[in-house]
Structure 1
Amino acid sequence: MAGFVNIRRDVDDKFYRYRMPVLLTKIEGKGNGIKTVVPNMSDVARALSRPPTYPTKFFGSELGAQTSVDEKNDRYIVNGAHDATRLRELLDAFIDKFVLCGSCKNPETDLIITKTELIVRDCKACGERTSVDMRHRLSTYILKNPPKKKGKKNKGGHAEAPSPSAEVNGNAGAGENGEAEGEGGSDDEMTRRIKAEASDLHTESQLVVEGWSADTSPDAVKARVAAVSAGIAGLGLAGGGDDDSEEDADSPYTQLGNWVKENPGASAVEVFKKVQELSIEKKHKAVQVLAQTLFTGEIITEIPIYLPIFQKMVTSEKHQKSLLGGIERFAGLEHPELIAVIPKILMELYQADVVEEDVVTFWGTHVSKKFVDKETSKKVRKASEPFLKWLAEAEDDEE
């Protein structure tokens, strides 16, 4: 049976309160079907008070590997052969980014998603709330799969994990001296709650600190203006959809495109507020307009900045197709020099769970004249072949 280690492995104190099982790995399969199974992922995650899917997805993101989760049979898999030492190092990184309090470095935290969709670590030790890196791909997964509330049961019928010090150390629900705390909590607990609630008032300013901004250099602004000028003029060519209308000056889509053109340095938060102001946050064509107008020649570095917008707005297959159509017009008509990086663009959107495998595969294998002319459509889809091949091979490996 595996032993236990300190959750913070940089702490040598053998009496350190917070401990977890040593992460175990098992290599299965061979050739292209080889994979690494983590047999005790549930136990490790329970000690960290996090769903086991979170560290699993973190491993996949950091290693650039496909992951698969079978919660019913308690199977957590990372494609490829990865030794235990490497995964333990990545687990340390996960703990630092998504478990430890950013203020006191105590692991007794809960993940909370604020009303502005910012993920924060709520520390039960010092009462501080510190935000996680919203640009990390795992943050996207957490927003779509938020942690369940304590005491609730998950799909498998198991109660959610207790705090890091509980169960592993046998002192669940007890104070530092082993005395149970009352339901009402102490005055210190109340103070911590007040401080925690107050921290929510600063979430918007924290978003700016987290790097939700766009490139405002003269070259980037010039490229953005040129792209938008060409793009807005042709938005009406997109056609299709039950919310399409004549693209005149009063159209909310034209207004949105013009606003992006006039505000090249707008942050993701500001852009989404403008979309809400125009009451088109649920419209699939708004997704196309943003995909066509938000980016410049530096689209690969800009996608992570604006991903939160698309993660919020892309809610159906129709939205996904409009997003791909906007990218198709952006690269195919306005920035043909970027057709070569279509696979990278698709990879960013796919790994952020913005587009699904079936949708992007169908799009990439069916030439369409809905958004661009037939020849341009062929060029874009031809360029996407390396990504589609990767998708197919990853699917074969999992099977």
Structure 2
Amino acid sequence: MAAGIVNIRRDVDDKFYRYRMPLLLTKIEGKGNGIKTVVPNMSDVARALSRPPTYPTKFFGCELGAQTSFDEKNDRYIVNGAHDATKLRELLDVFIEKFVLCKSCKNPETDLIITKQEEIIRDCKACGERTGVDMRHKLTTFILKNPPKTSKKGKKKGGADSPSNGAHAEAATPPIDGEFDGESDDELTKRIKAEAADLNADSKLAKEDWSVDTSEEAVKARTKAAESLMANLALGDDDDDDDDANSPYKQLGFWAQDNRDAGPVEIYKKAEELGIAKKHKSVQVLVQSLFDEDIVKQIAANAPLFKKMVTSEKHQKSLLGGVERLVGMTYPELIPSVPKILMAFYQADVLDEEVVTQWGTHVSKKYVDKETSKKVRKASEPFLKWLEEADDDDSDDE
């Protein structure tokens, strides 16, 4: 691989660390007074940080006392003078610390918000804290004059998109109870409908599949699923009320199973009403209750809900645990479909490559018995191989 991949926080020595970026590359061009340093993969690095590529380039100029230039159309980002890659990588670490990482939890999953008072805030999607940046730094003047552009979040993986593709929205409103990112219910409903329509042509089919079938076979299938949900809703961790028939998780599970066609907004509202919308265990419950034999089709229609609720590595692992229980215990005939299921969640921007790879190579008894865990992971091998080959293809392209 020409550029290599490193942890966004290079002080974190964990090969399974969720947040990754390409290793910054440099190329010296010209000579004499016209010598300059080009950063050929600045766009890829910046995309992984969810920042415009002009920000770290300008930061280098501020720190080095050098002029910078940008040709966004031709994807060229230049710092005047000769600067080796090691120096710029060290400066990138400083930029990440000052303008990307949450000051509270040190997570890079932040948006930059410009307030009415022209202060720049890091809004953390991981812990919810809002922390300011040092407004004395020269880069802040550039950011105020060139605020982040509002744009749709791109896919984290696949094709030309790299992790955390796309700039975060400018001046995003903080999440409010009962809403997605501060939007009104009407606005949210419109947005989710629009997103769901774009996700997959099969989404309409998925919704039709949820129409009530009163045949004897269908009734038996629903009864089987309900009994399985009650029996298999053990969550594999330390919640004291999981065994209680009235636990909020079981309430959510049975409600979602009976209201599959309610739509992402109403399902999320129900989880909020029960006080568990942000709990990672809720994700597992919803996987077990919203899906049946047609899970591959149904994922597309529910993608906006899971994109909203899956906000950390722990949430992703819980989702995978739900998949294990669904295909391993409720619908074992679905085990051969595990690669398609994983692909659907991956393409919906819900699962990250690193998390799936780690899950697929480590048998666990947390959600199912060891033998079932082995079977599910064995079935996932074609998808894991595809991920590996996709990485190899990216390396060749570079």
Query: What is the TM-score normalised by the length of structure 2?
Result: 0.49
TM-score of the pair, normalised by structure 1: 0.49
